[in-house]
A and B are shown apart, each in its own frame.
Chain A
Amino acid sequence: NAGVTQTPKFRVLKTGQSMTLLCAQDMNHEYMYWYRQDPGMGLRLIHYSVGEGTTAKGEVPDGYNVSRLKKQNFLLGLESAAPSQTSVYFCASSSPSRLAGTNEQFFGPGTRLTVL
């Protein structure tokens, strides 16, 4: 099993360009998440999904959109990239939890995005 994979691994954008980051998981997990990690900081939740066709906002959703058309995929879109969105983006997935924080999240290897 590949676990959680992310595409692409690296990307450089110019301000105003758009792009989509793809996350795929083969563990049949219901829940998927997108985080960003900036130097010297922990991970901050951008958006998440508790099932196919559903999405919800996290801590820092502005400037991003997501879609969960298939259970195994979670897409993160940047419509008009800004230098402030330069970061490392991590996708994660997990099984449903009866209580928040009790489900182990499995992370992908990350996508390093630079916006010039």
Chain B
Amino acid sequence: LAKTTQPISMDSYEGQEVNITCSHNNIATNDYITWYQQFPSQGPRFIIQGYKTKVTNEVASLFIPADRKSSTLSLPRVSLSDTAVYYCLVGLYNTDKLIFGTGTRLQVFP
């Protein structure tokens, strides 16, 4: 099973770019990488997903190197409302299961 490793916490200030890296050394060939965001007392919310290289949407970018053993979620110009826990997940091919790690708690300061 592909296990993910993320930093426990990160601090940032408003307006800065934040990069959260996730390690997934034993990712399988067909596994996708997905990031979710969770605010206190709420369920997680999908942010972005990718397989290789770079993916960008209206809220974030996801960078995946060629060896796919890690990935980086990039949040441009964070605001106070981006304070949350961010989870990196690796989808297990052909099982429909998602394995959540312990997540990274991002604190954004004014």
Contact = CB atoms under 8 A, between A and B. Distances in A.
Interface residues of A, number: 28
Contacts of A48: 96-97
Interface stretch (B15-23, B36-44, B66-74, B75-83): B36-44
Given A101-B31, A107-B45, A110-B43, A42 B103 contact: yes
Nearest to B98: A101
Given A40-B102, A42-B102, A100 B95 contact: yes
A41 interface: yes
**Interface SS of A by simple majority:** loop
Contact of B98 (A45, A99, A108, A110): A45
Residue with the greatest number of chain B CB neighbours at <10 A, chosen from A40, A97, A107:
A107
10 contacts: A31-B96, A42-B100, A45-B99, A99-B91, A99-B94, A100-B31, A100-B92, A101-B98, A102-B91, A104-B46
